[in-house]
Structure 1
């Protein structure tokens, strides 16, 4: 199997190669659309399962709303469409017909829809037009819904998983009777995402609030978590939006409160997408392939037999005993007993796929009643009695999970820097990247100038108490600033 381009030589090329060679996804031939292969989808499935359980534990229920949204509903929230109208796809006709002269299929003009349908870029509009029917009284609230599906947002510059025209995601949409409850919901979800990212994906994140010019269209406030990738660029992992009453007013969603008075419902929306897989790749992987944290790895352990003198039976017998032991411990394990591939080929394949632990069984292991254990994250090997695997493996998986997180945390902490001088700021951005905490005067034009000169954007305003905020002068304009914001180049 071909080796990967080194990260130090061409990070972008390394990323694309690792996605394809590890079997996660490939290009579809349609610009902006990818094919997620079985291994890639099993990883997405694992991420879905973990996060879905976390959301259900907090009272959220799964629903599904249509992919197509009536144009009239889509246009109702004016701030919302300012951004999403630029990249949306629209269905205008329902039928093709054969052109006899050209011997080809063309749009049948008689099949023009009475109302055009927008292919969802996000579902607030169709969901809130439905909530108008469902919400009448405070007794109908809160509504805590989550949807797993796909969305279309036309992209000019695309990259597998990180930025595609079609992507898979989850989007939460909640309705509440009070402003306080809706704000608490938005922050609760932010903390769920943070826990999910750090405890399961082993990606340390920074919580913050998007500046006013970057908040979700139609929201009052957008919360986010940002992570640093190995090349020092930031990746937005998740967002959670406090929508206020913007959508309930746009769709006239009123309820009778506890005092018998009519008022508009309060709302939130929030989501993560298949971009998470891109984050996993760029946070942990190396020049030999993927490195996956055990808690989200579709396969935690692979067992590889090393046959000798055609003595398949003895090795298979022990391997299947180990397989049963590990499965009883709820460990996701695979036994690769294919005889058409050499053990060396399989070693390389599973290193590329990022399987956390490899167990090898050959002649020496049979004679010594031991197996070889290989750690993908550190390349360490150890030999232990296969009878001790039940006690060792869960602890080893936990150690690998913690080790991967510590490595990512250490790298991130080294790249968190305060800067008070613009020349130093530019030097840091161009050479090491990272999260740069610097003062900003709050003006959109200032952030635009900084982006034009450095490619760095304001990733978030850190969430902190008033007594933690530090007054100063804007790094670019010299105007007064109430607190530092986080700048970084980003994906």
Structure 2
């Protein structure tokens, strides 16, 4: 990345006291005049005309990586850190994560899950207990080998995930069926020292997440929880972040290493046409229980001859949601002006901006606007609406509009002298730019309805785009062209690992034209199975012995979703 993209961008203070001496206003960026006779520079195809450093210089559809980097930094969601692949989550982003935490934490507690915390260091001997599981993380494990100038007796891994941290203690705590179920969750960070090209939120060496680890006496109990959690993840994306996802089961090749089966919610990024694994809920079966000795006495008691029954192994699940969700939200909803935040997770849902004030405005009108704005904020606070006033008198109204549009605030309220006299305000939506007049007498109700409408419309638009780009492919000749057209392919599939590997190889040969030049995987990336959707198409049933796999021609088992992926 360029030094400009990685360097912090100076931001004006959030609020300036109105009692300070008035100084010349900073005007909103003006679109420069263009010499029509001069040859256009090549970068003009991707740069937004007239953009200054308060805004976004790159168009989303033309240079997606640079657009994304500028949106997440200039909106003050995050800042680049001195360690590659690690980022500072600033309050504007962390508040969104807190809203997700608050909602999800209450939901899992209703299910009987309890929060806990386990250490971040993993003894090497613990990792070696489950080779199949660790193999998937081996290249990404960060190790601590020294304390000061002394070598540690045993190297310690920084947790890439916590199965091998937690399960030795599950074995200690579970002795009887009465100790089950054991359902723990922790909110923590993990480190995966990936050497791929890092991307803020999406592919980072340290990230925040929740990881649930549960143990049950029976498979039926474990299965039930897997799908309960999966639907909670769907709700996080669809109901909070306004991002449509597809629930499904991972293929044998893509499932969690060492687990029995993996369920997933898969997102779609329209600008690149690529899928993204949004969250996963795994049934681990009894594999880890056998490795770590998580067993309990058979509740049926001794055999008729008095001999003790062999101990039973617990059925286990694990499930996780990460700060990757913030990046998915940005990519799906953002536009050339910056962030577009869903109201339910926005740090500021409503920004109130006094307007129409100039040198001729009387002190009485100024005082009336201040009084009206203060009353609005009081009402919003009482109603639980997160609102803020921008009364900085050193910045023009246009500058303030740009400032908050960049940050994606869902609703802007403009209040001027005429609005006060008419007992109204002008509301502008960030998602589509529409403006509507709201009455002061019903300001809370009107604003709440507008926020609900914005939330609903954002999801509907994203879902319509996603649905239009899920293509049913029943002939291989149509598969790669659909991928190159930035679409998902739903295909009849045999579900064999060899076939999936062949599909990835065949679909990578032609390459793909993409603006994502910073991602070394993108130009030649082949398709992989994203999931086998839980909701199979009712109007296109798989007929045993008749419906054939699109790739290998063997009998198809189910419809599967394939695509290029992050």
Alignment TM-score, normalising by the size of structure 2: 0.81
* C-alpha displacement of 1:57: 2.1
C-alpha contact (below 8 Å) 1:315/1:361 kept by paired residues? yes
In structure 2, do the counterparts of structure 1 residues 466 and 41 end up closer, same or farther at CA, with 3 Å as the change threshold? closer
Query: Which of the numbers 48, 56, 60 marks the counterpart of 2:101?
Result: 48
C-alpha contact (below 8 Å) 1:470/1:484 kept by paired residues? no
1:474 aligned residue: 549
Provide the rounded CA distance (Å) in 1 between the counterparts of 2:275 and 2:537.
26
1:450 aligns to 2:503 (yes or no): yes
What are the within-5 Å matches in structure 2 for residues 355-374 of structure 1?
355-374=409-428
SS in 1 for 2:319: strand
1:62 aligned residue: 115
2:450 aligned residue: 396
C-alpha contact (below 8 Å) 1:4/1:289 kept by paired residues? no
**Structure 2, unpaired ranges of 5+:** 1-53, 302-308, 509-525
Higher relative contact order (CA 8 A, sep 6+): 2
C-alpha contact (below 8 Å) 2:55/2:338 kept by paired residues? no
Provide the rounded CA distance (Å) in 2 between the counterparts of 1:190 and 1:331.
29
Q: Which moved more, 1:473-482 or 1:294-303?
A: 473-482
1:148 aligned residue: 187
Is the strand fraction higher in 1 or 2? 1
What are the within-5 Å matches in structure 2 for residues 181-330 of structure 1?
181-231=221-271, 232-260=273-301, 261=309, 262-306=311-355, 307-308=357-358, 309=361, 311=363, 312-330=366-384
Q: Which moved more, 1:219-228 or 1:190-199?
A: 190-199
Provide the rounded CA distance (Å) in 2 between the counterparts of 1:386 and 1:229.
39
1:426 aligns to 2:480 (yes or no): yes
Provide the rounded CA distance (Å) in 1 between the counterparts of 2:543 and 2:276.
25
Which structure: larger Rg?
2
Residue deviations 1:97-155, cap 9 Å, x none?
xxxxxxxxxxx2xx222221110000011110111111111111111111111101112
2:559 aligned residue: 484
Provide the rounded CA distance (Å) in 1 between the counterparts of 2:145 and 2:177.
39
**Structure 1, unpaired ranges of 5+:** 96-107
Query: Which of the numbers 144, 149, 154 marks the counterpart of 1:115?
Result: 154
1:412 aligned residue: 466
Cα RMSD (Å) = 1.7
* C-alpha displacement of 1:430: 0.4
Provide the rounded CA distance (Å) in 1 between the counterparts of 2:392 and 2:292.
59
Residue deviations 1:344-382, cap 9 Å, x none?
111111111111111111222223222111111110112
Residue deviations 1:47-90, cap 9 Å, x none?
21122222222221111111111111121112111111121011
2:202 aligned residue: 162
Alignment TM-score, normalising by the size of structure 1: 0.93
* C-alpha displacement of 1:469: 3.8
C-alpha contact (below 8 Å) 1:373/1:381 kept by paired residues? yes
Report runs of 4+ in structure 1 exceeding 6 Å deviation.
none
1:175 aligned residue: 215
SS in 1 for 2:253: helix
Aligned length: 476
